[in-house]
């Protein structure tokens, strides 16, 4: 194992996506992440599809490289094991509903008595305090309640009574929250190096979605740019996809409704008449005549045989073009191979699971992504031996139900 977080020990109670993505980031940076799962099935993401051998691809993407143990919190000896693990831990991560770990003696105040320097990270839908603290939260519900889904429907011209097309998006609230949790945790680890103090970090999925949304400044003020004025988000998020004769589909990162973008389109197309055309004089008129304006652009793009030819012309105007591809196609491209955008995990039975590579490269510190896949409880013996348990004691823990594993 290598990376800037080598030597950092993380006790990971998280499951599904937001929490596991947070601890995955720490693991990919070199931390030793010990994932603790309930004996009654473990992390529910283990049951996701598709599967290769005994492993869910969904689980593998977020949990490869982690040490997996399975301990029954209802068992006194099981709780004693966790307390031992916490004594020299740097981070505890959990994403239960607030208060879930308190009856077991693993809430922040209790853990702080075991290890005063612990960085305790709690991820939940609406935070550890307040009127919604006990509300169940999943990505679609948080996107709906925070206004993110409403903003997306409005952005895409979908009426809020068009139930056929009002479909929840990917689980971005979970992933963004995991990233924000990692940022906060790394900041707390640095702060501890300065002042020696541990602390509790409360990460709310709802607050995250407001913080990361680029149009929040307008939405929070109740402003609407859908009918008048210049677009609030500059231009790129409202770009349209178009087809070219080769059959390829591309997007030019600019919405001609925005006046500066229209001027770039005019320069790119050698069509300065677009700027002076009465139909396109103002943002309001461009919205009113948007289909006509886009058809002008589509007709121009159709004069180029390939994406390469079109991109050369677009680049002159300072705009960017992207070709619509599948993830697989992109990851297998020349760039993907150069970066290491895709890697194979071995399921232990000859099968392979494809997952993304790392998103960063350090000039001085080599990061090695986690390769090992572990069944629930597969690392019980390894972890307990390091704590000083004998084989006989470990066997008794199995018999007493304090620990268990899948085979």
Residue 31 pLDDT: 96
Q: How many domains does the chain have?
A: 2
Distances from the Cα of 185 to the Cαs of 122, 178, 180, 207, 361, in angstroms?
10, 10, 9, 16, 20
Question: What range does the domain containing 296 cover?
Answer: 249-323
Give the chain's length: 407
Residues 161 and 297 in one domain: no
Distances from the Cα of 214 to the Cαs of 148, 152, 235, in angstroms?
10, 12, 12
Residues 371, 345 contacting (CB under 8 angstroms): yes
Distances from the Cα of 71 to the Cαs of 21, 77, 245, in angstroms?
21, 9, 60
Residues 204 and 271 in one domain: no
Q: Domain of 371: which CATH number? A: 3.40.50.10540
Residue 234 pLDDT: 62
Residue 242 falls inside a structural domain: no
Residues 19 and 80 in one domain: yes
Final residue in a domain of this structure, among 272, 293, 323: 323
Residue 216 pLDDT: 86
**Consecutive 10-residue runs of the chain (407 residues): their mean pLDDT?**
92 96 97 95 91 92 95 96 97 96 97 98 96 91 89 81 83 93 98 96 96 86 76 69 90 89 92 95 91 93 90 86 94 96 89 93 89 92 96 96 91
Closest CA to 35 of 76, 1, 64: 64
Residue 335 falls inside a structural domain: no
Residues 298 and 164 in one domain: no
Closest CA to 42 of 21, 59, 24: 59
Residues 315 and 345 in one domain: no
Final residue in a domain of this structure, among 270, 291, 323: 323
Residue 363 falls inside a structural domain: yes
Residues 387 and 255 in one domain: no
Please indicate, yes or no, whether the overall pTM of this predicted structure exceeds 0.75.
Answer: yes
Residue 370 pLDDT: 83
Residues 308 and 175 in one domain: no
Residues 299 and 392 in one domain: no
Cis previous bond, 192, omega within 30: no
């Amino acid at each position: 194992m290598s990376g800037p977080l080598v030597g950092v020990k993380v006790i990971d109670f998280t499951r599904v996506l937001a929490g596991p993505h947070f601890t995955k980031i720490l693991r990919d940076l070199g931390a030793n992440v010990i994932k603790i799962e309930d004996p009654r099935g473990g992390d529910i993401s283990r049951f996701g599809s598709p599967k290769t051998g005994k492993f869910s691809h969904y689980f593998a993407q977020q949990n490869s490289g982690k040490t997996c143990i399975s301990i029954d919190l209802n068992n006194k000896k099981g709780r004693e094991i966790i307390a031992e693990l916490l004594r020299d831990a740097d981070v505890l991560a959990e994403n239960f509903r607030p208060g879930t770990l308190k009856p077991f003696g693993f809430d922040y105040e209790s853990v702080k008595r075991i290890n005063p320097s612990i960085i305790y990270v709690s991820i939940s839908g609406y935070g550890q305090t307040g009127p919604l603290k006990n509300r169940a939260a999943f990505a679609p519900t948080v996107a709906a309640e925070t206004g993110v889904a409403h903003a997306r429907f409005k952005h895409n011209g979908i009426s809020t009574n068009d139930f056929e097309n009002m479909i929840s998006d990917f689980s971005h609230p979970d992933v963004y929250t995991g990233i924000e949790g990692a940022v906060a945790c790394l900041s707390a680890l640095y702060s501890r190096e300065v002042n020696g103090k541990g602390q509790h970090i409360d990460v709310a999925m709802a607050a995250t979605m407001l913080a990361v949304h680029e149009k929040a400044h307008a939405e929070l003020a109740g402003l609407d740019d859908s009918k008048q004025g210049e677009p609030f988000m500059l231009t790129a998020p409202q770009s349209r996809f178009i087809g070219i004769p080769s059959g390829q589909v591309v997007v030019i990162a600019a919405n001609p409704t925005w006046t500066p973008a229209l001027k770039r389109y005019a320069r790119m197309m050698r069509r300065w008449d677009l700027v002076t055309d009465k139909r396109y004089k103002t943002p309001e008129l461009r919205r009113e005549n948007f289909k006509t304006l886009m058809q002008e652009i589509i007709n121009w793009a159709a004069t180029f045989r390939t994406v390469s030819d079109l991109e050369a012309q677009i680049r002159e105007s300072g705009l960017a073009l992207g070709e619509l591809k599948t993830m697989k196609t992109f990851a297998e491209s020349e760039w993907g191979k150069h970066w290491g955008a895709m890697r194979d995990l071995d399921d232990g039975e000859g099968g392979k699971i494809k997952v993304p590579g790392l998103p960063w490269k350090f000039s001085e510190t080599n990061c090695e992504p986690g390769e090992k896949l572990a069944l629930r409880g597969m690392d019980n013996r390894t972890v307990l031996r390091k704590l000083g348990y004998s084989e006989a004691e470990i066997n008794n823990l199995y018999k007493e139900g304090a620990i268990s594993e899948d085979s």
